[in-house]
Structure 1
Amino acid sequence: MHHRSDLGALTGATVLVTGGAGLIGSRITAQLRDLGARPVVLCTMNAYPEQVYADLFGVRVGDPDVILGDVRDSVLVRKLVAESDYVIHAAALADVAACTRDPLAAIDTNVAGTQSVLDAVAATERVRRMVFVSSASVYGNGNPEETDSPDLLTMRQLLESVHGRIPPQFHEFTRTRPKSVYGNTKAWGEEQTALLLGQVGTSYAIVRYFSVYGEPQTIKPGSHSWVVAWFTARAHLGLPLHLNGGGGQVRDMVHVDDIAEGTLRALVSPRAHTETLNIGTGVPTSVRQIAQLVQAHYPNTPFLETPLPAGDPLGGYAATRRMENILGWKPKVTIAEGVTRYVKWLQDTPAAAPEWLRREHTAA
């Protein structure tokens, strides 16, 4: 099933990772180093405090191959792309709530920034492939009018009994229906990647990440993303777990180590050329189920039902057959295992439960 030989193509290669200092980018660059590649990181490094990048993600300003800069800086981007064998474009304003609050900032980073990277990749013949990092948010709540094949009906009945509604399975070929500004910018980025790189004949692949979690993820104020990190940090401090809308939303939770490996496989697998691939587990998990997995480690943690935020989709889960066929791979970490790993990591790294949340706890 696993084609290690594909990843061997990265040995000795220079790989530009935009947004490479973030949670996912830092895991991608760590795996690239393990494979003998030279990752070059371009990042503004303004999404978190500096010590988060240094102490949790292991990325430091001043490191060789860590370039503090913006993807909208077309001169800088063109120079870095011209020196790269592969490009992974992961830089984005990736917080759904932040994009909803400030749509122009989302357009600036996620649309203008993507255009800058695409222009640079299209202008050079050196780049062997670019991966555009997209998101399951392009699916929104799915396509309710679509009918499922008979073999899915028993699965649907089972899901309905567990979740109270039938969460949709998202297939790569279904029409995108984003329900947030963030999802909309990602849908545009997919189309623009295919349009521009298709015209010049540069190889590309598009990966749609489902819900990414796992150590060393840490939460940000004013965000409702990153449910495992939120629930664990709150439980760790003795705070109740907020179940937005009762916690019935469904997510396909993918550990960040699997996300990173799936991205690298899409970068080099011969069959991934011009493909759009879900990176997911194919397992639907409700937010309430995640809360229960965290509560099992912190038994006295209460639940609190809270309203559903705007733009928070009811969600669904990934169809994974295409990913498995094309990449010859599937994610390894189960949600139960991943939550256990995160709890242990937080207990070993108590500073990852941020100070502002501690203050909220003290005030409470």
Structure 2
Amino acid sequence: MEATSRRALSDRPRPTERDAEEAAYDVQTALAGAKVLVTGGAGLIGSRITARLRSLGAKPVALCTLDAYPREVYEGLFGIEVGGPHLVIGDITDSALVREVVTDCDFVIHAAALADVAACTRQPSSAISTNVLGTQSVLDAVAGAANQVQRTVFVSSASVYGHGCEPQSPEARAYHAALEAVYGPLPPVFDEQVTPLDPVSAYANTKAWGEAQTALTLDAVGVSHSTVRYFSVYGEPQVVKPRSHSWVVAWFATRAALGLPLELNGGGRQVRDFVHVDDVAEATVRALVAPDAHRATFNVGTGIPTSIREVAELVRQHFPQTEVRETPMPPGDPMGGFAAVKRMRQILKWRPQVGVADGVDRYAQWIKETPAAIPTWLRESAAAS
């Protein structure tokens, strides 16, 4: 499909969503005055979650190591008040600290993780330390505060589906067929109720473990929990990290802004469901209080597949002279698929608001207007090349 037609198609209702009505529930009333711990709360997604919680009248507390980015990224781009009363600098593997922070919290969002697929592949022991031992530390603290914590949301990833498979349930097959009638042949649709988990990377493996362990630990003590599986998160003010092949929108726009070629791993045939960080934050906050989210797992995506090559073409609309190169596929990089979103809509009574074409437009414009967001190491690499 041509990139120029993507915007019009993405604005249309999904075939299975026509005439569906979202029944409202009062998120603000449910969260007003509530203390919410957000692990990883100073990162890209975490900072958006805490900002949304504050806008609803909640009292978020972020627990974060502040070691994933330079300090100026946290303060200047993510809007984090380092030294402020709502930020606890620390590691989720510090069990005593986590217990102390959780003690008087009404809700917990566990978003802290080593979330870089490439970094987890290079250093699986680091992935295990943060994503497994750290998660257990958080779960133990929540279990110890079972009389206080109303619900915990575990942040997972669509990477747990791996390469996926053909839709299995009649509903999933019908959903897939209806989409193919609009878009033509499509990759797998990931249905959280029927698609088996098949992690193909160390990162995905730790997330699959975290999902199961959250249920095991919190069911035993009667704490409500839900799991959100994020698809490909992007959006301003996301900034790239060295030696990472994640965050493709940010990578492509940043490289294009520097006049560097866009590298299409495996020719860019991989498919992702790109969901804007603002929408991800909203879905996560709603998962805290949605009545039907208790013990539920649901995808957070748009229900629209987009190839990596299509993203490159959307970026090139803003940087027309940009060269495109095909490069080898890195290990642990699945061909991907896209989200079945009916369950998300049923549970959260909501749908994402930012389409991929608009989201890429926003990011490309932001990187042009915010050149300081381009890391020094990448500028130096561009100059040297």
Structure 1 partner of 2:207 = 186
- The CA distance in 1 between the partners of 2:123 and 2:53, in whole Å, is 33
Deviation at 1:344, TM superposition (A): 1.6
Superposition deviation, residue 306 in structure 1: 0.5
- State which of 349, 353, 359 in structure 1 corresponds to 2:370: 349
> Contact 1:7 / 1:268 at 8 angstroms: preserved in 2?
no
Partner of 1:134: 156
The structure 1 residue matched to 2:165, chosen from 133, 138, 143, is 143
Gaps of 5+ in 2: 1-21
Q: What does residue 190 of structure 2 align with?
A: 170
In the aligned structure 1, how far is the partner of 2:275 from the partner of 2:376?
27
What secondary structure is seen at the aligned counterpart in 2 of 1:132?
strand
CA distance in 2, matches of 1:123, 1:154: 47
Q: Report SS of the residue matched to 2:26.
A: helix
Whole-Å separation in 1 of the counterparts to 2:202 and 2:50: 28
Q: Percent identity?
A: 61
The residue that corresponds to 2:11 in the other structure is none
Normalising by the residue count of structure 2, what TM-score does the alignment of the two structures yield? 0.91
SS of aligned partner of 1:133: strand
Aligned partner letter, 1:300:
Q
What is the match of residue 205 of structure 1? Answer: 226
Aligned partner of 2:308 among 279, 287, 296: 287
Equivalent of 2:359, from 314, 324, 338? 338
SS in 1 for 2:255: helix
Q: Give the distance between the partners of 2:153 and 2:121, measured in 1 at CA.
A: 25
SS in 2 for 1:36: coil
How far is 1:156 from its partner? Answer: 3.9
Question: Across the two proteins, how many residue pairs are aligned to each other?
Answer: 360
**What are the Cα deviations for residues 270-325 of structure 1, in whole angstroms up to 9, with x where unaligned?**
11011001000000000000000000011111101111100011000000000001
Query: What secondary structure does 1:17 align onto?
Result: strand
State the AA in 2 paired with 1:354. Answer: P
- For 1:233, the equivalent position in structure 2 comes to 254
In structure 2, the partner of 1:36 is 57
Deviations 1:171-209 (A, max 9, x none): 112211001000000000000001111111100010000
Q: Is 1:20 aligned to 2:44, yes or no?
A: no
Q: Quick check: 1:321 aligned with 2:342?
A: yes
User: How far apart are residue 157 of structure 1 and its match?
Assistant: 6.7
Checking the alignment, whether the CA contact within 8 Å between 1:136 and 1:278 is kept in structure 2 is yes
Q: What is the CA-CA distance between 1:7 and the residue it aligns to?
A: 3.6
Amino acid of the residue matched to residue 189 of structure 2? Q
RMSD: 1.4
Amino acid across the alignment from 1:153: A
- Superposition TM-score, scaled by structure 1 size: 0.96
User: For structure 1, which segment, 256-265 or 75-84, has the greater mean C-alpha deviation from structure 2 after superposition?
Assistant: 75-84
Aligned with 1:9 (options 15, 30, 36): 30
CA–CA separation in structure 2 for the residues paired with 1:185 and 1:237: 35
Structure 1 unaligned runs (5+)? none
Please say which of residues 57-66 and 131-140 is displaced more in the overlay.
57-66
Query: Residue 300 of structure 1 aligns with which residue?
Result: 321
Which stretches of structure 1, 4 residues or longer, exceed 6 Å deviation after superposition?
none
Q: Is the 8 A contact 1:7 1:264 kept in 2?
A: no
